[in-house]
Amino acid sequence: MPSPFILDRSSVTQVMAWVLAALVPGIVTYVWLFGPGILVTLALATATALAAEAAMLKARGYPLKPFLTDLSAVVTAWLLALSLPSLAPWWLIVTGTLFAIVVAKHLYGGLGQNIFNPAMVGYAVLIVSFPVQMTHWAGPLELTSAHLSLAQSATAIFGGAPKATLDAVTMATPLDTLRTGLLQQLTVDEVMTKPIFGHYGGTGFEWLAVAFLAGGLALWALRIIGWQVPLAFLAGVWLTAGFLHFYDAGRYGAPWFHLFAPSVMLGAFFIATDPVTGATTPRGKLVFGLGAGFLTMAIRTWGGFPDGVAFAILLMNVAAPLIDQYTQPRVYGGGTEARK
Amino acid sequence: MSRELFRFRGGVHPPEHKAESNSRPIHPAPLPRKLVIPLRQHIGNPAKPVVEVGQHVLKGQLIGAPDGAISCAVHASSSGTVTAIDVQPVPHVSGLPDLCITIETDGRDEWIAHAPLDPHADPATLRMRLRDMGIAGLGGAVFPADVKLDPGPTQHCPTLIVNGGECEPWITCDDVLMRHRADDILQGVAVMRHLLGSTEVLVGIEDNKPEALAAMKAAAAKMAFPVEIVAVPARYPGGGAKQMIETLTGRQVPSGKLSTDIGVQVFNVGTAYALARAVLHGEPLISRLVTVTGHVLRPQNFEVLIGTPLHTLITLAGDREGTTGVLMGGPMMGVPMPSLDVPVVKATNCLLVKSKELFPPLPKALPCIRCTRCADACPASLQPQELFRFAKAGDFGRAQEYHLFDCIECGCCSYVCPSHIPLVDYYRYAKAEIWAREKDKRASDVARERHEFRLFRIEREKKEKAEKLAAKAQAKRAELATEPEAAGAGAAPTEADAKKALIAAALARAQAKKSETAPKNVDDLTPEQLRQIDEIEARRAKIRELARQPLESDEKKP
Ligand code: SF4
Ligand code: SF4
C-alpha cells in the first residue's frame, strides 16, 4: 500500500535490454569487419554468464526468475566478449565470464552491490594472467586474405583449428602495433604508415568505434544513460592525448587515433556508464568520466598494457564513493538558483 | 501574457486521466442521514467540542472551537441532533481513529443566522473571524488560513500566488471550480490581498486546463486590481507550493524557512473560494468539491458536506464490480482508505477508486542499481538512492546529512525507479524513526538530569547536615570560650558564619524544591498528550512495518 500507486513503465530488464540493443550496431560491424567469430564468443559468454548467475543465485538463496530475467548478466557477458580478442580460446572466454559473474558480481553482493564493473574485472584478470592469448585478434577483412566462417571460427575458438590457420588470420591490434613500434624507437609517423592504421584509428577498428558511438548516442537519446560520463570520458582521452601529441608528436599518437579505438567508445558509452559502479552525482559523473579518460591515456602511454580502458575504469570504480561524497548537489532551497 | 517562467528541477509526467471527471458539471451531493465531523481536520491543535450529545444544532453552527494559536473551528454541516462525541475512524494517514462529532441530520438543512463580513475590516479582526469560520487550506496541508494570512511584523507580503496547478493525475476539483466559479475565487483573492498587503497577484494554472485558464482570465479582467493568470507547464509536482513559487518567480524557498520569508504566500484556489463564501456570505467552511473518479461509472465532481461518508459518494458516482480499494487524493501522494465509512474532511480533494486494470499490483522490488533516475526526477535535488541506502541500513544520521528532511514525499523517485523500490516509504520510515529517537533522547535527558540532581541533592543534604553540626559545635565552643573571657574577640564572626551557613542552606533547599518541581511537569501529561504520544507510537510502528517490507533479495537472505 505504498504511495505512489503508479509506476513508470521502466524496469531493470528494459534498461538492460536497451543496452543490449544498442550494442547490436557494434556487433554487426564487428561481424562485417572481422568475420562471424564474435558471435561464437558472444554465445559462449552469454551461456556461461547465465549458468554462473543461476548457480550463484541458487547458492545464495535468491529467487532465479527476477534476477535471471533482469538481463544484467547478459550485459556483462556481452561487454566482456566485445573486449576480448575475436578468436580467443573458449577457456579464456569461460574463465573471464566466470570471474566476472562469480567473483566481481556475486561475491560482492550481487546486482547493485558490486564495487567493480564485472566485465572489466573479468578482462583485467585475463590480461594479467594470459597476456599472450589475449592477442588472438583476427585481422580486419581488408588486411587478411583468409577469413574464417562461423564454423571455422567455432573450431578455432574451441581449440580444433591448427595453429597455422590461426596465425594466418590473427594480428596485433593497432594499439599493440603502436606500442611495439614506439618501443622499437620508431616515431609515431613511421608506425602509422603500417597498413593496420586507417584514417583516424586502426583500419576497420575505426568503423567499429563509430558503430559503438552510434549505439551509445542512441542510449543517450533514449535517456538510458546521461551525457556526463561519456562526454567527460571522451574529453579526458582527447585532452590528454592532445596534450601529449602537442608536446611531442613523434612519441605520442594523435588524439583522434586514441579516441577512435573501439575500446574507448565501448568504455565511454557502455562500461563507464555502468550506474552501479560509477559515480552518481551530476558533477561526480563528470569527474568520474574525466578521470577514467585520463587514466586510460596514462596507462596506454606509460603503463604495461597496450589498452588502459579496463584498468582506468576499475581504478575510478574505487574512487567513485569518494567522488560522490565530495560532489553532493545543492538541494532545493539551499541557495538562489533558477533555470529557465 | 508573456511572463518569464522558470523551470523547477526534476519532476515526472504520469498519464493525466483528467478528462474522465472534468467535463461534467458540479453536482451537489445529497444530504446524508448522518454526518461525522472530525475535530481535527487541519494542522495544529484539534478543535474543542462546544456542543453536547442530544443538543440540536443548525447548519453552520460552531460545534468545535479553535484551541490554541494554530487551530481552526469546526461547524455543523447541516441541521440535526448531536448523537455522539466519540472516537471514530477518520481518513488520516495514520489510519487511527480520532475524536468526532456525529450529527443525525433532520433533513431541514436549516441555517444559523448568518451575514456577510466586512471585507475591509481591520486585518486582525478579519483573521479572527476567518479562524472562527473554520477556513483552512484546501490544497493538501490544511493549514489554518488565518495563520497563513498573517504577514507578520512586516505587515505585508508582496507576492500572493494562487495555486491552480492541480498536478496529480485524476484530480479535477480545482479545475472545475475554476471553470465554474472563477469570479468567487477572485473575490476571495481580493480579501487575501487585503490581509497580506500584497502588491502582486499571480494565479498559476497548468496548461492542460485551457477552460480553467480562460474562465479565470475572464474573471480577472473584471477585477479592480491586477491579477496575472499564468499558464505553467503541466508537470508533476508543479502544483506543489514550492515548485509553483519557483516556476512563477524563479526563487526557491530556503530550506527550513517559510515562503513568507521571501515575501511570497501561496493559497489553493479552493481556499480562496471558501474564503469568499465566508466573507461575502458569512458561511463557514462546511462543504467542498470532491472528485470521485477511477473505477466508477460516472466520474465527476461533487459539492459535498464535510462529514459525509465516502461510500455515499462512490454510490453516487456509480460503483462497479472489481474495486480493489479507494485512495483519498491522487495516485502519487494519496492515502488508502481503511474503510468507506470514514467521512469527507476539509482535506478530501479526491476519491480515487482503484481496480486491477487501472492500478495493477506493483511489481516486486529489485536491488538498487544506482541508475540515478530517482535523483534526476527529484524536485528537491536530493540523492534518493543514497537516502534509500542509509534508511535501509538504519544509518539515520547519514540520511539526515543527505537532507532527508528536505524530501517532500512527492513520490517522483519511486515512480521512475526501474527497480520498483518503494523509496518514499523508506523515507517516511526513516523520518518517523528519527522523530521517535529525538523523543526518546529528550525523555532520557530529562531522566538523566533528574537522576543527577537527586545525587546532587543527597550530597548537599549530607553537607548541610555536617555544616549544621559543625556550626553547632562551633557555637558551643564559642559559648564555652566566652564564659571565662567575657567578651572574646573571635566569637562574633564565628556566630555570623554559622548563621550565614544556615541561611545558605535554607536558600539551597528552597532552590532545590523549585527545580525539583520543574521536571515533574513532564510526568504530568494530560490524557490528550498521552493519547497523542500513543498515536505517534502506533503510526511509527505501522510505518516501520511498511518500510520493513523487505526487498525480494532480503527475504531470501539467510
Ligand atoms: S531509480 Fe531506483 S534503481 Fe535507480 S538509483 Fe534510484 S533507487 Fe536506485
Ligand atoms: S519523494 Fe523525496 S526524494 Fe523522492 S523525488 Fe520526492 S522529494 Fe525527492
Q: CB of B388 within 8 A of CB of A130? A: no
Q: pLDDT category, A143, cuts 50, 70, 90?
A: low
Q: pLDDT category, B436, cuts 50, 70, 90?
A: confident
Q: What is the pLDDT of residues B45-61, one digit of tens each?
A: 999 999 999 999 999 99
CA distance A97 to chain B (A): 20
CA of B414 to the centre of ligand 1 (A): 8
Protein residue whose Cα sits closest to atom 4 of ligand 2: B413
Q: Please check whether residues A149 and A5 belong to one and the same domain.
A: yes
Question: Is A160 a residue whose pLDDT tops 70?
Answer: no
Which of A141, A171, A201 is where one domain is finished?
Answer: A171
Percent of chain A topping pLDDT 70: 81
A318 in any annotated domain:
yes
Q: pLDDT category, A190, cuts 50, 70, 90?
A: low
Q: pLDDT category, A52, cuts 50, 70, 90?
A: very high
A194 in any annotated domain:
no
CA distance B63 to chain A (A): 34
Tell whether omega for the bond before B422 is within 30 degrees of 0, i.e. cis. no
Cα–chain center distance at A290: 16
Q: Quick check: CB of B374 below 6 Å from ligand 1?
A: yes
DSSP B100: E
Radius of gyration in angstroms for the set of CA atoms belonging to chain B, rounded to a whole number: 30
A210 in any annotated domain:
no
Find the angle CA(A209)-CA(A211)-CA(A215) to the nearest 5 degrees.
115
Instruction: Give the pLDDT of residue B557.
Output: 39
Instruction: Give the pLDDT of residue B490.
Output: 46
Q: Please check whether residues A32 and A150 belong to one and the same domain.
A: yes
Atom in ligand 1 nearest the alpha carbon of residue B370: 5
Gap between the Cα atoms of B557 and B424, Å rounded: 23
Q: 126-185 in B: which are within 8 Å (CB) of A?
A: 169
Gap between the Cα atoms of B145 and B160, Å rounded: 14
A203 in any annotated domain:
no
CA of B385 to the centre of ligand 1 (A): 5
Best of B8, B352, B369 to substitute, by most chain A Cβ atoms within 10 angstroms, is B369
DSSP class per residue in B118-143: -TTS-HHHHHHHHHHTT-B--SSS--
Q: Please check whether residues A155 and A248 belong to one and the same domain.
A: no
- Provide the residue type at B222 as one letter: K
| Mean predicted confidence (pLDDT) in B227-239 | 93
Q: pLDDT category, B554, cuts 50, 70, 90?
A: very low
Which residue does chain A place closest to B354, by CA atoms?
A: A5
Protein residue whose Cα sits closest to atom 4 of ligand 1: B371
Higher-confidence residue: A312 or B552? A312
Lowest mean pLDDT among A103-112, A187-196, B139-148, B333-342: A187-196
- Is B371 labeled as ligand-binding? yes
What mean pLDDT, rounded, does chain B reach? 86
Which residue does chain A place closest to B3, by CA atoms?
A: A340
| Of residues A66, A72, A336, nearest to B252 (C-beta) | A336
Domains belonging to chain B, first-starting first, are: 115-282 (3.40.50.11540), 362-484 (1.10.1060)
Q: What is the ipTM of this complex?
A: 0.83
Higher-confidence residue: A104 or A190? A104
- Is B412 labeled as ligand-binding? no
Q: Please check whether residues A35 and A129 belong to one and the same domain.
A: yes
Q: Please check whether residues A231 and A304 belong to one and the same domain.
A: yes
Q: pLDDT category, B442, cuts 50, 70, 90?
A: confident
What mean pLDDT, rounded, does chain A reach? 83
Which helix (DSSP H) or strand (DSSP E) does residue B34 occupy? strand B34-38
- Provide the residue type at B27 as one letter: H
Q: pLDDT category, B495, cuts 50, 70, 90?
A: low
| Mean predicted confidence (pLDDT) in A94-116 | 90
Q: Please check whether residues A43 and A167 belong to one and the same domain.
A: yes
Which of A152, A171, A190 is where one domain is finished?
Answer: A171
| Mean predicted confidence (pLDDT) in A219-225 | 91
CA distance A230 to chain B (A): 15
Chain A residues close to B251, C-beta within 8 Å: 336, 338
Domain assignment of residue A159, given as a range? 1-171
Instruction: Give the pLDDT of residue A191.
Output: 65
Ligand nearest to the CA of B421: 1
Q: Residues 6 or more apart from B170 whose CB is under 8 A from it?
A: B16, B17, B18, B20, B21, B291, B293, B294, B330, B331, B350, B352
Please name every residue paired with B87 in a beta bridge, in sequence order, or none if there are none. Answer: B99
- Is B374 labeled as ligand-binding? yes
Q: Please check whether residues A167 and A220 belong to one and the same domain.
A: no
DSSP A261: S
Chain B residues close to A284, C-beta within 8 Å: none
| Mean predicted confidence (pLDDT) in B501-526 | 59
Q: pLDDT category, B154, cuts 50, 70, 90?
A: confident
| Mean predicted confidence (pLDDT) in B86-103 | 89
Instruction: Give the pLDDT of residue A147.
Output: 67
Question: Is A142 a residue whose pLDDT tops 80?
Answer: no
A309 in any annotated domain:
yes
Instruction: Give the pLDDT of residue B185.
Output: 95
A75 in any annotated domain:
yes
Instruction: Give the pLDDT of residue A335.
Output: 46
Q: Please check whether residues A104 and A243 belong to one and the same domain.
A: no
Q: Quick check: CB of B409 below 6 Å from ligand 2?
A: yes
A interface with B, Cβ–Cβ below 8 Å: 1-8, 10-12, 14-15, 60-63, 66-67, 70, 72, 110-113, 226, 275-276, 278, 280-281, 324, 328-340
**What grid cell was written down for B177?**
471550480
| Of residues A3, A113, A338, nearest to B6 (C-beta) | A338
For ligand 1, pick from B402, B414, B421, B552 the residue to mutate: most ligand atoms within 8 Å of CB.
B421
Which of A139, A171, A203 is where one domain is finished?
Answer: A171
Contact of B372 with chain A, judged by CB distance below 8 Å, is answered with: yes
Instruction: Give the pLDDT of residue B163.
Output: 94
Kindly tell me the sign of the dihedral angle through the C-alpha atoms of B83, B87, B92, B95: negative
Q: What is the pLDDT of residues A261-296, one digit of tens each?
A: 888 999 999 999 998 888 989 899 999 999 999 999
Q: Please check whether residues A232 and A133 belong to one and the same domain.
A: no
User: Is the Cβ pair A62, B558 closer than 8 Å?
Assistant: no
Lowest mean pLDDT among B51-60, B390-399, B548-557: B548-557
Which residue does chain A place closest to B377, by CA atoms?
A: A8
Instruction: Give the pLDDT of residue B512.
Output: 61
Instruction: Give the pLDDT of residue A262.
Output: 84
Q: Please check whether residues A14 and A151 belong to one and the same domain.
A: yes
| Mean predicted confidence (pLDDT) in B186-204 | 93
Higher-confidence residue: A337 or B315? B315
Higher-confidence residue: A336 or A14? A14
Q: Report the number of distinct structural domains present in chain A.
A: 2
Gap between the Cα atoms of A297 and A308, Å rounded: 7
Contact of B385 with chain A, judged by CB distance below 8 Å, is answered with: yes
User: Is the Cβ pair B331, A6 closer than 8 Å?
Assistant: yes
Instruction: Give the pLDDT of residue A163.
Output: 63
Instruction: Give the pLDDT of residue B550.
Output: 45
| Mean predicted confidence (pLDDT) in A180-192 | 68
Q: Please check whether residues A159 and A231 belong to one and the same domain.
A: no
Spatial strand order of the sheet with B264-268 comes to B228-232, B200-206, B159-164, B264-268
A187 in any annotated domain:
no
Q: Please check whether residues A76 and A14 belong to one and the same domain.
A: yes
| Of residues B15, B381, B425, nearest to A332 (C-beta) | B381
